[in-house]
Structure 1
């Protein structure tokens, strides 16, 4: 099916950033004016709190700001006016400050560093942190990380590296014209959107500060005071840096190092009473649980015992949408461990009673999660909460359908879930429409997996031609990277699988589906390397001689080549 038959949503471009600037490792951005090294000053809007009532009587009558010097204010004295003194004002309870605004301005004004470093920190605070947070964890990225960065050099340098890398990515997308790409040697493939790599994209400035962050962390680990908590947060930032660079291997190495530190810390008794850093650890650990899910989806084995059981993670009620997310992450991790344990044994008739018991327990816990989630879902009134709920429902649909068929050997076993697949695709389409309607541009990179890997899974396992094409269209028009999952590459791979499976069909109007022998059971594909992966080696596993026949393994390489 050609691209002209698929509705392709327009891609929302980010607003123009500072143009004509080139960063070098040792100098700030160069342009016609030295003022271009920092972004335009941010207009500081008044916080929502009462007006000050402590100025002198003369300044209050004149409606000007009083410097409150006593006994007579300098403002009146300098202008030759008589200062009439100060009225007795009863003390008021100070208004609670807007911590988000305070943290934002503090990051600009008082962070250490030269002009170029402060620019990267500014970009991290204004752009990178909010985008990394996605619909969850906004307080962690926009407040906790920034505040710890004031006192911890490893965190500060990691923030600089992230801010610089994300700015380079956004600039390349703005500066480069959107082009359509097509897998080489495949005249039937639809064209896939892709941005053009620009020179200097690897950002030596960011790599310098990345290395500084690692060096400072090594020094910090020799200290006993809260070193574990700083190491865990640093590992999350390092994983994020490698994800942004598109480097799968180093990202997973940082994850494994952080998990090793976390497991070691869990065995130790706390030396000091509960403090802020222990609270930091509690907020950081959920990132590692989500990274485990990413690691398993990319083929990494989990050799450690999972810290909780399925029956322990679903409470009677969820207080927040984030609590529901954390609960579902545990269930997804436990489900993935179960599914991976059966991926070969199910073909060898080696499914044991305890495997079936685990499957039934997971299905029961997932159903319980859904019932509990529906209660909190009814209170999701804001657009952000509604989008968060849509993401969680997509995750739930893909998880429960794969657990339900974890012991099945037939690819046709997914056909009965067509209605669920269509629901998940519809939710993803709704998320896209909402993103396009936002005043600010949507992020092209987020730390967490939202819908790209889940819709890719549906695009490869749902054989209904029309729903499948809708799923691929969602990937094609998303133009984003979620963790290590690139929507552009995922669309190309899913489309290639669809073409191979549908090669023998007469029509693709939904009336004819690929037969069992034509279906691909599994595909391994490398995610490429670098900020703009374009070449992928695919390994297909199929059973063309029937389910009792042997495996057929085929390999090919697809290249996303601009026209």
Structure 2
């Protein structure tokens, strides 16, 4: 009697990752298998690994970070955390660290600070407070004002903030001396916390304190600290130094990389390295600009020649940076990731904006900006491309379109500068249009406020045009606004804006006009 035998075939190991983990048969269709589509799941693509290997990878990804030797005593803190505290620390790990990293893979936020928080209670409490306030900001889709925030969350944040300060004092006292890593990291977290809470003055105070600690350390230490954590913190504070300078604080003169070093680099390793050198050049450029001032006075010919020589030297530094950056961009070619592309676009925006600063600072009238219309157009086009890439919510950029807050400045500052200095009517209105639809807050830059101020500048400058302007040449020299300054309390609505003009020509007196702007 014949026996019906089941025909056996070798099991395929070519199924998608999702089906392998679920232990179901995959039809191996690409790019997404129909088994996943029918069940409403996202197909995670294909990989040669077995189920066991895949599960090991997942377990490795979620494994807690091992402690490193930041403290000499290797303290192990047995935390008695509440469920609420753990929830907000987890939010810091999963969401805040990505939001603060921006378009870059940041060791500081994804690894170094969480690692230090494993054995430093002050850091852990600060992370908890930041996770709580950031969670509320994300849920509200806008930065809350004190009356809009929920009282329990605000009380919880303040409690964690106080615990962080108390533990920091205790740790520094027991160490019988200043712990540079702990102090700078705490200062960095307090900056983030105050920015998220909308306390601009306190955030600026913490930035200044951190910069002075770094400056003093590098002036007095026999050998500057070279740890990875210190280098990452220093790079962050260098960028915060620039941001604070735009909000009325002094630019702390930290040591910068020499021009020779920058010009010797034939190609950057990656975009984080490219950013480090651009930050150095921007700081150098801003120190030069601050040394000249904003009065537009006629200068002694000898002094003018000295300024022009320094101006040209800085310009050559920027050109050398752009050469190395473009070679890296060409090397990556079409294989560039969305996050790297956004990083490159953002760096090119700041490259152009920094050149505007440097190349126009010695000019006495505003007409000089009309020579850079193509560069202004590039800034706006790059910003539009960043917004377009972000709006696609690509997984490779960590859903950055979902974040409504970033620690550092991105596109708002350059767009504001473009909309007020570029007199081409279409280009400046494109810049304003991006800000008008931009719901993200970048550090202390609020798009709503600067969009309103830019509209005021345009309204004043175009008020004497008989017909709507079609070119920058239609904006007369005598009606142009030279400077526009907001009060220190920028979070107040309406905001006080002071416009500085030269209606009698460059050699005439300054005229000031105060306007209250609703935003």
TM-score norm. by structure 2 comes to 0.79
Closer, same or farther: CA 345–131 of 1 in aligned 2, 3 Å: same
Contact between 1:111 and 1:150, CA under 8 Å: does it hold in 2?
A: no
Q: CA deviation at 1:379?
A: 3.6
In structure 2, what is the Cα distance between the partners aligned to 1:175 and 1:391? 24
Correspondence for 1:476 among 436, 440, 443: 436
Which structure has greater helix proportion?
Answer: 2
Correspondence for 1:486 among 435, 442, 446: 446
SS at match of 2:484: strand
Tell me the residue number matched to 2:518.
559
Tell me the residue number matched to 2:26.
none
Tell me the residue number matched to 1:501.
461
Tell me the residue number matched to 1:141.
109
Q: CA RMSD in A?
A: 3.1
Map 1:359-438 to 2 at 5 A: 359-380=311-332, 381-438=336-393
Does the alignment pair 1:452 with 2:404?
no
Does the alignment pair 1:326 with 2:284?
no
Does the alignment pair 1:207 with 2:181?
no
Q: CA deviation at 1:303?
A: 4.9
Contact between 1:527 and 1:536, CA under 8 Å: does it hold in 2?
A: no
Contact between 2:212 and 2:252, CA under 8 Å: does it hold in 1?
A: no
In structure 2, what is the Cα distance between the partners aligned to 1:525 and 1:437? 35
In structure 2, what is the Cα distance between the partners aligned to 1:523 and 1:458? 13
Map 1:47-196 to 2 at 5 A: 101-103=62-64, 113-173=81-141
Which deviates more, 408-417 or 110-119?
A: 110-119
Map 1:161-310 to 2 at 5 A: 161-173=129-141, 198-200=148-150, 203-222=154-173, 223=175, 227-266=179-218, 267-269=220-222, 278-304=227-253, 306-310=255-259
Runs of 4+ in 1 over 4 A off after TM superposition: 47-53, 95-100, 103-106, 527-530
Q: CA deviation at 1:265?
A: 2.3
In structure 1, what is the Cα distance between the partners aligned to 2:107 and 2:240? 19
Contact between 1:539 and 1:553, CA under 8 Å: does it hold in 2?
A: yes
In structure 2, what is the Cα distance between the partners aligned to 1:103 and 1:409? 58
Q: CA deviation at 1:454?
A: 0.8
TM-score norm. by structure 1 comes to 0.74
In structure 2, what is the Cα distance between the partners aligned to 1:353 and 1:345? 18
Contact between 1:517 and 1:546, CA under 8 Å: does it hold in 2?
A: yes
Give the unaligned 5+ runs of structure 2.
Answer: 1-46, 68-77
Which deviates more, 162-171 or 437-446?
A: 437-446
Does the alignment pair 1:316 with 2:276?
no
Contact between 1:158 and 1:234, CA under 8 Å: does it hold in 2?
A: yes
In structure 2, what is the Cα distance between the partners aligned to 1:99 and 1:524? 52
SS at match of 2:513: strand
Closer, same or farther: CA 137–352 of 1 in aligned 2, 3 Å: farther
SS at match of 2:482: strand
In structure 1, what is the Cα distance between the partners aligned to 2:449 and 2:435? 9
SS at match of 2:515: strand
In structure 2, what is the Cα distance between the partners aligned to 1:377 and 1:484? 30
Correspondence for 2:498 among 539, 558, 562: 539
Q: CA deviation at 1:122?
A: 1.4
Closer, same or farther: CA 404–211 of 1 in aligned 2, 3 Å: same
In structure 2, what is the Cα distance between the partners aligned to 1:321 and 1:420? 22
Closer, same or farther: CA 174–503 of 1 in aligned 2, 3 Å: closer
In structure 1, what is the Cα distance between the partners aligned to 2:380 and 2:232? 31
In structure 2, what is the Cα distance between the partners aligned to 1:338 and 1:100? 46
Contact between 2:125 and 2:164, CA under 8 Å: does it hold in 1?
A: yes
In structure 2, what is the Cα distance between the partners aligned to 1:128 and 1:324? 24
Tell me the residue number matched to 1:43.
none
Give the unaligned 5+ runs of structure 1.
Answer: 1-46, 54-64, 66-94, 177-194
Contact between 1:505 and 1:514, CA under 8 Å: does it hold in 2?
A: yes
In structure 2, what is the Cα distance between the partners aligned to 1:103 and 1:555? 55
Tell me the residue number matched to 1:522.
483
Correspondence for 1:464 among 408, 417, 424: 424
User: What is the number of residues matched between the two proteins?
Assistant: 449
Closer, same or farther: CA 98–346 of 1 in aligned 2, 3 Å: farther
Contact between 1:445 and 1:483, CA under 8 Å: does it hold in 2?
A: yes
CA deviations 1:246-273 (Å, max 9, x no partner) are 22211111111111221232222369xx
In structure 1, what is the Cα distance between the partners aligned to 2:61 and 2:201? 35
Which deviates more, 367-376 or 240-249?
A: 240-249
CA deviations 1:226-283 (Å, max 9, x no partner) are 8111111111111111111222211111111111221232222369xx89xx221111
CA deviations 1:155-201 (Å, max 9, x no partner) are 1111111111111112222899xxxxxxxxxxxxxxxxxx9972437
